[in-house]
Structure 1
Amino acid sequence: MESELLTAAELAAKLHKTAPALAQWRYKGIGPKFVKIGSGVRYRASDVEAWLDAQTRTQTGQVVPSV
């Protein structure tokens, strides 16, 4: 299966965030999975969709059990 690769700038625009915010997420391990390619990073569209699905909540105070 082939998935579109997004740059940090492209993903940041889609999520209404900044590229530095995504860098912080990568550092903290809280954002979508990413692929390190040379000195840059790319995000698989399928990984972003999976991450977004995991962020879905039905209540504002809902806590997701940690693994």
Structure 2
Amino acid sequence: MASKSTRAAGRLLTVAQAAERLNTSERYPRRLIEERRIAYVKVGRHVRIPESALDDLIASGLVEPVTLHVRRAA
């Protein structure tokens, strides 16, 4: 059997742990998995989400603040 070239790095979280980290219900991580919007690992019949995948999801939603430059009237 050929080994996969990609490996899940770091800790594997249950759906409940992922939901707790995202501060949502379990429905949201399950929807992310169903829509293939987040990487996951199947361990038998169980689904685990790599902690790094959650970090990437959170980082992809990061919105940087906008700094406004105010001109002074002369």
Q: CA deviation at 1:3?
A: 0.4
Alignment of structure 1 residues 24-63 onto 2, 5 Å? 24-30=31-37, 32-58=38-64
Normalization by structure 2: what TM-score?
0.63
Structure 1: gaps of 5 or more residues: 60-67
- Alignment correspondent of 1:23: 30
Task: Specify the alignment match of 1:5 in structure 2.
Answer: 12
Quote the offset at 1:58 in angstroms.
2.7
For 2:12 and 2:52, the matched residues in 1 are separated by: 9
Task: Letter of the 1:11 partner, please give it.
Answer: A
Q: Which runs of 5+ in 2 are unaligned?
A: 1-7, 66-74
What is the number of residues matched between the two proteins?
58
Task: Extract structure 1 runs of 4+ deviating beyond 2 A.
Answer: none
TM-score (norm 1): 0.69
What is the one-letter code of the residue matched to 1:57?
Answer: V
Q: Choose 1 or 2 for highest CA Rg.
A: 2
Identity of aligned residues (%): 21
- Structure (1 or 2) with the greater helix fraction: 1
